[in-house]
Amino acid sequence: MQRPAPLVILKDVHLTLSSAAGAVNILSGVSLDIGPGEAVALLGPSGSGKSSLLMVAAGLESVTSGEVVLSGKEITRLGEDALARFRRSKVGIVFQSFHLIPTMTALENVAVPLELAGKKNAFNRAKAELDAVGLSHRVDHYPSQLSGGEQQRVALARAMAPEPAVLFADEPTGNLDTATGEEIANLLFALRARSRTTLFLVTHEESLARRCGRIIRLKDGRIVADEPHLALAKA
Amino acid sequence: MPDVVLSWKLARREMRSGLSGFRIFFLCLVLGVASIAGIESLSAAFLTGLAEHGRTLLGGDIAVGLVHRPATAAERAFLEGYGRVSESVSMRAMAYAMRGDQAQERQLVELRAVDGSYPLFGAVSLSPAGSLARNLTCDAELCGAIAEQTLLDRLHLGLGGTVRIGTQKFRIAAVLGREPDRIAGGFSLGPHILISTDALPRTGLIQLGSLINYGYRIAFARDVPLDRFRRAAVAAFPDAGWEIRTRNNAAPGIRTFVEQVTMFLTLVGLTALAVGGVGAGQAVQAFLDRKRDEIATLKSLGADGAVIFLLFFMQVMAIALGAVLFGLALGAVIPFLVQFFFGADLPAPAHFAIYPRPLVFAAIFGLFSAIAFAVPPLARAREITPASLFRDIVAPAKRTARIPYIAGAVGAGAVVIGLALYLAPSPRFAEEFLGGAIAILFALRMIAVLLRLALKRAPRLKRPELRLALANLARPGAATAGVITALGLGLTLLATVALLDSTISAQVKDSLPETAPSFFFVDIQPDQASVFDATIHRFRTASAYRRTPMIRGRIVSLRGVAAKDAKVASDAKWALAGDRGITYAAGRPDDAKITEGSWWPANYAGPTLISFDAELARGMGLKVGDTMTLNVLGREIEGRIANLRDVNFRSGRQNFILILSPGLIDKAPHTFLATVRVDPAEEEALYRAVTDRFPNVSAVRVKDAIAEVNTLLQELAFGVRAASLVTIIAGLLVLAGAIAAGARARLYDATVLKVVGATRAWLAGVFMLEYGLLGVLTGALGLGAGTLAAYLVSREIFDVPFAFDLTAAILTVFGGAAVTLLFGLVGAWTALAARPARQLRAP
Chain A contact present for B291, CB below 8 A: no
Average pLDDT, chain B: 84
For B86-125, the DSSP string reads EEEEEEEEEEEEEETTEEEEEEEEEEEEE-TT--SSS---
List the one residue out of B272, B269, B267 whose CA is nearest residue B732. B272
Largest Cα–Cα distance of chain B, in whole Å? 105
The predicted complex's ipTM stands at 0.71
pLDDT in tens, B45-102: 888 888 888 888 888 899 998 887 899 999 999 999 999 999 999 998 989 999 888 8
Residue in A60, A85, A162 nearest the CB of B300? A60
CB atoms B298 and A112 under 8 Å: yes
List the one residue out of B126, B129, B135, B107 whose CA is nearest residue B176. B126
Average pLDDT, chain A: 88
Backbone angles phi, psi at B594, to 5 degrees: -80, 130
Chain B contact present for A78, CB below 8 A: no
Range of lowest pLDDT (B432-441, B682-691, B828-837): B828-837
Q: What is the pLDDT of residue B54?
A: 83
Range of lowest pLDDT (B338-347, B556-565, B690-699, B763-772): B338-347
Contacts of A115 in chain B (CB under 8 A): 6, 9-10
Residue in B2, B301, B395 nearest the CB of A112? B301
Q: What is the pLDDT of residue B112?
A: 94
CB atoms B306 and A81 under 8 Å: yes
Round to whole Å and give the CA distance between B79 and B68. 18
Chain A contact present for B2, CB below 8 A: yes
Residue in B9, B299, B391 nearest the CB of A84? B299
Residue in A20, A102, A113 nearest the CB of B301? A113
pLDDT at A23 over 80: yes
What b-and-e string marks burial along B411-450, b requiring 16 or more CB atoms within 10 Å of the CB?
ebbebbbebbeebbebeebbebbbebbeebbebbbebbee
Do A226 and A232 touch, CB atoms closer than 8 A? no
Q: 375-394 in B: which are within 8 Å (CB) of A? A: 383, 385-387, 389-391, 394
Chain A contact present for B3, CB below 8 A: no
Q: Find which of A153-167, B287-301, B658-672, B709-723 is predicted with most confidence, using mean pLDDT.
A: A153-167
Local confidence band at A230 (pLDDT 50, 70, 90 cut-offs): low
SS3 content of chain A, % helix, strand, coil (to 5): 35, 30, 35
pLDDT at B843 over 50: no
- Find the mean pLDDT for residues B385-410: 73
Chain A contact present for B18, CB below 8 A: no
The angle at the Cα of B292, spanning B286 to B293, to the nearest 5 degrees, equals 140
Residue in A20, A80, A103 nearest the CB of B13? A103
CB atoms B395 and A158 under 8 Å: no
Q: How far is A183 from chain B (nearest CA, A)?
A: 24
Helix axes B743-755, B702-741, angle to 10 degrees: 60
Residue in B297, B305, B306 nearest the CB of A99? B297
Q: For domain A36-47+87-234, which CATH number applies: 3.40.50.300, 3.40.50.1110, 3.20.20.70, 3.40.50.80?
A: 3.40.50.300
Q: What is the pLDDT of residue B147?
A: 94
Q: What is the pLDDT of residue B394?
A: 42
Chain B contact present for A61, CB below 8 A: yes
* Interface probe with A: pick from B6, B301, B400, most Cβ of A within 10 Å: B301
Q: What is the pLDDT of residue B186?
A: 60
CB atoms near residue B125 (< 10 Å): 14
Chain B contact present for A108, CB below 8 A: yes
Q: What is the pLDDT of residue A126?
A: 93
Q: What is the pLDDT of residue A201?
A: 95
Chain B contact present for A113, CB below 8 A: yes
Round to whole Å and give the CA distance between B696 and B525. 9
List the one residue out of A157, A149, A151, A100 whose CA is nearest residue A123. A157
Q: What is the pLDDT of residue B279?
A: 82
pLDDT in tens, B148-201: 998 999 899 999 999 999 999 999 999 998 888 876 656 677 889 999 999 999
Range of lowest pLDDT (A159-168, B467-476, B672-681): B467-476
Round to whole Å and give the CA distance between B729 and A153. 49
B534 vs B209, B540, B674, B689, CA distance in Å?
22, 12, 13, 11
Contacts of B305 in chain A (CB under 8 A): 80-81, 84
Q: How far is A231 from chain B (nearest CA, A)?
A: 33
Local confidence band at B406 (pLDDT 50, 70, 90 cut-offs): very high
Contacts of A116 in chain B (CB under 8 A): 6, 298, 301-303, 307
Helix axes B292-300, B305-342, angle to 10 degrees: 140
Local confidence band at A77 (pLDDT 50, 70, 90 cut-offs): confident
pLDDT in tens, A114-145: 888 888 888 999 999 999 999 999 998 988 88
Contact pairs from chain A to chain B, CB under 8 Å? 84
pLDDT in tens, B454-465: 887 877 677 777
Chain B contact present for A99, CB below 8 A: yes
**Residue B8: which residues within 8 A CB-CB, separation 6 or more?**
B310, B314
Chain B contact present for A102, CB below 8 A: yes
Please give the residue of chain A at the shortest CA–CA distance from B295: A101
Chain B contact present for A104, CB below 8 A: yes
Q: What is the pLDDT of residue B481?
A: 83
Local confidence band at B511 (pLDDT 50, 70, 90 cut-offs): low
- Find the mean pLDDT for residues B493-516: 74
CB atoms B387 and A55 under 8 Å: yes
The angle at the Cα of B154, spanning B149 to B155, to the nearest 5 degrees, equals 100
* Interface probe with B: pick from A56, A90, A104, A112, most Cβ of B within 10 Å: A112
The helix or strand, by DSSP H or E, that contains position B787, with its residue range, turns out to be helix B760-792
Please give the residue of chain A at the shortest CA–CA distance from B305: A81
Where in chain B are the domains? 1-53+254-389+397-425, 58-249, 426-514+707-843, 543-677
Residue in B383, B385, B389 nearest the CB of A99? B389
- pTM across the whole model: 0.72
pLDDT at A8 over 90: yes
* Interface probe with B: pick from A15, A54, A60, most Cβ of B within 10 Å: A60
The helix or strand, by DSSP H or E, that contains position B791, with its residue range, turns out to be helix B760-792
The helix or strand, by DSSP H or E, that contains position B307, with its residue range, turns out to be helix B305-342
Where in chain A are the domains? 36-47+87-234
